[in-house]
């Protein structure tokens, strides 16, 4: 077996800890993925369109997943503060409680147990693999806002201000460490 095939098999086996048939804690795989994403996304990416892009589904598919999460009281729709025609999907307190019992924590805990340098190499390597897959599939890459070419910082350390050049909107410091579906890597 080639090393590449072995690595793929190891990734598939690790996915068994958080991908599963049916439901776990009342959620399907896709509902878990959506809930995780909405909990980690910045406010500009917590829209039905951005969710559909992240899940790799149609807006209709994302709407069905969103409807299930709404019915279970795990997310709510809020009118966008910037554009009254659009909505923002927000995780509720009940959704946050459920995320504390997320099956993916077993995988996270094993990664936390790695040495810091191994964690960094794993993160960087997986990021390169995912970027390559996104390019090959012509998908838009989702990543952390602080690494995006559209993020501009101004001011001094104690009084830093951030802005997204793509949306021409201010970004809170907290949001710079969250996921953005409109991400473009720095060259």
In a domain, 112, yes or no: yes
In a domain, 160, yes or no: yes
Q: Average pLDDT of 58-79?
A: 95
In this model, does residue 183 exceed pLDDT 90?
A: no
C-alpha–C-alpha distance, residues 175 and 2, integer Å: 41
**The pLDDT of residue 168:** 87
In a domain, 134, yes or no: no
- Are 35 and 75 contacting, i.e. CB atoms less than 8 angstroms apart? yes
In this model, does residue 48 exceed pLDDT 70?
A: yes
Which of residues 36 and 10 earns the better pLDDT score? 36
Q: Average pLDDT of 97-120?
A: 91
C-alpha–C-alpha distance, residues 74 and 65, integer Å: 11
Asked which of 125, 150, 176 is the last residue of a domain, the reply is 125
Residues shown for the chain: 187
Residues 97 and 55 placed together within one structural domain of the fold = yes
In a domain, 109, yes or no: yes
In this model, does residue 54 exceed pLDDT 80?
A: yes
Residues 55 and 110 placed together within one structural domain of the fold = yes
Residues 92 and 33 placed together within one structural domain of the fold = yes
- Which residues form the domain of 48? 27-125
pTM of the model: 0.81
In a domain, 16, yes or no: no
In a domain, 1, yes or no: no
Average pLDDT of every residue of the chain: 86
In this model, does residue 51 exceed pLDDT 70?
A: yes
In this model, does residue 105 exceed pLDDT 80?
A: yes
Question: Using 50, 70 and 90 to split pLDDT, how confident is the model at 14?
Answer: confident
Question: Using 50, 70 and 90 to split pLDDT, how confident is the model at 127?
Answer: confident
Asked which of 93, 125, 157 is the last residue of a domain, the reply is 125
SS3 26: coil
In this model, does residue 39 exceed pLDDT 90?
A: yes
């Amino acid at each position: 077996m080639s090393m590449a095939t072995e690595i793929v098999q190891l990734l598939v086996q690790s996915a068994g800890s958080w991908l599963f048939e049916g439901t776990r804690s009342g959620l399907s795989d896709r509902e878990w993925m959506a809930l995780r994403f909405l909990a980690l996304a910045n406010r500009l990416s917590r829209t039905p369109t951005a969710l559909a892009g992240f899940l790799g589904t149609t807006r209709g598919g994302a709407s069905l997943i969103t409807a299930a999460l709404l019915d279970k009281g795990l997310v709510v729709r809020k009118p966008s503060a910037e554009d009254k025609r659009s909505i923002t999907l927000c995780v509720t307190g009940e959704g946050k409680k459920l995320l504390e019992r997320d099956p993916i924590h077993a995988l996270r805990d094993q990664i936390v147990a790695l040495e810091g340098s191994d964690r960094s190499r794993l993160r960087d390597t997986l990021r390169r693999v995912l970027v390559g897959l996104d390019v090959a599939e012509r998908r838009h890459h989702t990543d952390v806002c602080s690494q995006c070419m559209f993020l501009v910082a101004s001011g001094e350390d104690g009084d830093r201000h951030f802005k997204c050049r793509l949306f021409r909107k201010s970004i809170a410091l907290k949001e710079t460490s969250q996921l953005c579906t409109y991400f473009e890597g720095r060259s």
